[in-house]
Amino acid sequence: MLGFEDFFEYHMQTKHSYFSVRSFPNRLDWNNQPNVFKTYPDTFEKIQLDLEKNNHSFIYYIAGITAKKTYPGVEYYLRVNPSAGALYPNEIYFQSRGNSDIEDGVYHFDIKSSSITLLKKVDDNGVEPFIGLDTKQNGFIFFISSIYYRSSWKYKNRAFRYCLLDSGHILGSIEASAYIHDKEYEIIYNFDKKELNNLFGFDEKEFFTSCLKITTNTDKKVEKLILDLPTIDGSFYFETNKLIEKAYNDSLKTFDCSIQKEKVNFNYQKEFFKQTILNRRSIREFTKQAITINQLETILDILSQPICSDCDEKIDIYYVANRVKQLRPGLYKDNQLLEKGDLSSKAGYLCLEQDLGKDSAVTFFLTSKGKNYQALYQKASIIGHRLYLASNYLGYGCSGIGAYYDDEVCEFVKDNTQVLYALAIGK
């Protein structure tokens, strides 16, 4: 039996319960609402993305703006990737080497202006040594970071979870964009993140959590890149959160990792899948329609495809079938019925009483007993991202649900575990 000390301390300290959400209601400081875009000054060269160019389109389909919402006095933008509370804590950097239409260099994806900012050209130097490689790699090497205050402004201590979930969604977006642009990826969690945080001049406000490479090896030696970047304010206002900083530092090192070498093998019709990516949105309300058992099986099959990485943690997928034709309602895992009956109200209650969890066709709970917290959390939301796209592709809606009663979900699934993410799909 696993005890409190077997799981990541931060996770145990940031559980929601019926009591906690009522005793410590979240008050938002609207005067200090953080900015969601980071932009380097105009002294840096910016290259406008041109979707006619294959590699530009590849970048845009990762996190580009796909919708604008206007309310009296405010305008905000929605993107390819979902984000808890639309707070978008993550930033995307990449090295390009030997690619058409993108000069060799290190770039920041400037999402607001749909351009990429050249931070430094690369030649016999590059980021390869920072991920343990001493030869030049042709292709793309991405680094995903979080400016955590964008999220902790609203979600307080629990925000580190959301930063990791949102970062996993970006990895999932890269997976999807790589698929439509015929590229194969590999995720790296084991690299010296602190050294890179310093290299990019992050000043403790922003930190890297993952790397993804789409590369072919060469035999040409490469030296460590030196950068001299200004520290850019990416949130307008910033408040330090000691618990989050500790959680980040405590989860930096990976250990006892299993390596997943197998690549994903999707079977989507690519043009339609492209449209699915552009049109993806989080559903706000379900009209309680059912999905078919075949559709559920197709989706589960997509979720279980390998995620190629150097630290592959096991994620358990529990699902509450509320409305699936020809399937007994109840709680399932690995096609096994764990508890039968209409559990829809219970599922909604567990998602902090959100109707999304109750009115869905299926509500999912993703859990893990793994030790590599950054890797397992990001993997959970790569799976979550697949769930968004697979259900949207089949004509159904999906929403991520980051708020749930942790311990009560454990009691419900009868497993003492770490609950990472909930999601609901349906119509």
Least distance CB 368 / ligand FMN (angstroms): 15
Which of 215, 354, 363, 391: binder of ligand FMN (CB under 6 A)? 354
Taking the complex as a whole, the smallest distance from the CB of residue 398 to ligand FMN amounts, in Å, to 9
3-state secondary structure of 246: helix
Q: How far is the CB of 388 from ligand FMN (least distance, A)?
A: 8
Residues 6+ apart with CB under 8 A from 223: 124, 125, 126, 129
Does position 162 interact with ligand FMN (CB under 6 A)? The reply is yes
| Subset of residues 319 to 338 that bind ligand FMN, contact rule: CB under 6 A | none
**Is 399 one of the binding residues for ligand FMN (CB under 6 A)?**
yes
- Nearest distance from C-beta of residue 60 to ligand FMN, angstroms: 15
Rounded to an integer, what distance in angstroms lies between the CA atom of residue 219 and that of residue 387? 39
The one segment of 24-32, 38-46, 79-87, 128-136 that binds ligand FMN by CB under 6 A: 79-87
Query: For ligand FMN, which residue of 147, 174, 362, 401 counts as binding (CB under 6 A)?
Result: 401
C-alpha–C-alpha distance, residues 33 and 235, integer Å: 8
- Piece of the chain touching ligand FMN by CB under 6 A; list 8-16, 82-90, 289-297, 298-306: 82-90
The binder of ligand FMN chosen from 59, 62, 84, 382 (CB under 6 A): 84
Q: Within 13 Å, how many C-alpha atoms sit on residue 17's CB side? A: 11
Q: In whole angstroms, give the CA distance from residue 129 to residue 134.
A: 5
**Beta-carbon neighbour count of residue 261 at 10 Å?**
10
Strand 105-110 and strand 316-321: the pairing is unpaired
Q: How far is the CB of 210 from ligand FMN (least distance, A)?
A: 15
- Residue 265's Cβ-count burial label (10 Å; 0-12, 13-18, 19+) is exposed
Kindly provide the b/e burial profile for residues 170-186, where b requires at least 16 CB atoms within 10 angstroms of the residue's own CB: bbbbbbbbbbbbebebb
What letter does residue 190 receive in the DSSP assignment? -
User: Of 137 and 354, which has the nearer Cβ to ligand FMN?
Assistant: 354
Read off the amino acid at residue 85.
G
Q: How far is the CB of 83 from ligand FMN (least distance, A)?
A: 5
Site mask, ligand FMN, residues 369-398, x = CB under 6 A?
------------------------------
The distance of closest approach from Cβ of residue 355 to ligand FMN in the complex, given in angstroms and rounded to an integer, is 9
Closest alpha carbon to 179 in 313, 350, 308, 371: 308
**CA gap 162, 177 in Å, rounded:** 22
Q: How far is the CB of 122 from ligand FMN (least distance, A)?
A: 32
Interface with ligand FMN (CB under 6 A), residue from 260, 282, 298, 416:
282
Q: Which of residues 165-224 bind ligand FMN (CB under 6 A)?
A: 165-166, 169
DSSP 168: H
CB closer to ligand FMN, 55 vs 392: 392
In angstroms, give the least distance from the CB of 169 to ligand FMN: 5
Cα separation of 166 and 73, whole Å?
A: 27
Tokens of 37: 């875009």
Q: Which CB sits closer to ligand FMN, 166 or 175?
A: 166
Binding of residue 403 to ligand FMN (CB under 6 A): yes
Of these, 16, 49, 56, 82, which contacts ligand FMN (CB under 6 A)? 82
Count of C-beta atoms within a 10 Å radius of residue 125? 17
Question: How would you classify the pairing of strands 397-401 and 362-368?
Answer: unpaired
**Token pair 């790397």: residue:** 211
Q: How many CB atoms lie within 10 A of CB 328?
A: 10
**Would you say the C-alpha torsion 200, 203, 205, 208 has a positive or negative sign?**
positive
Residue 242 or 284: which CB sits closer to ligand FMN?
A: 284
Of the candidate residues 15, 154, 281, 371, the single one contacting ligand FMN (CB under 6 A): 281
Closest distance of CB 157 from ligand FMN, Å = 16
For the chain, give percent helix, strand, coil, nearest 5: 35, 30, 40
Q: Which is nearer to ligand FMN, 84 or 196 (CB)?
A: 84
| 402 touches ligand FMN (CB under 6 A) | yes
Residue choice 57, 83, 152, 378 for contact with ligand FMN (CB under 6 A): 83
Count the site residues for ligand FMN by CB under 6 A: 19
The rounded distance, in Å, linking the Cα atoms of 161 and 374 is 9
Q: Which stretch binds ligand FMN (CB under 6 A): 8-16, 32-40, 84-92, 219-227?
A: 84-92
Angstrom distance (rounded) from CA 187 to CA 310: 7
By CB under 6 A, is residue 158 in contact with ligand FMN? no
Q: Which residues bind ligand FMN (CB under 6 A)?
A: 78, 82-86, 162, 165-166, 169, 281-282, 354, 356, 399-403
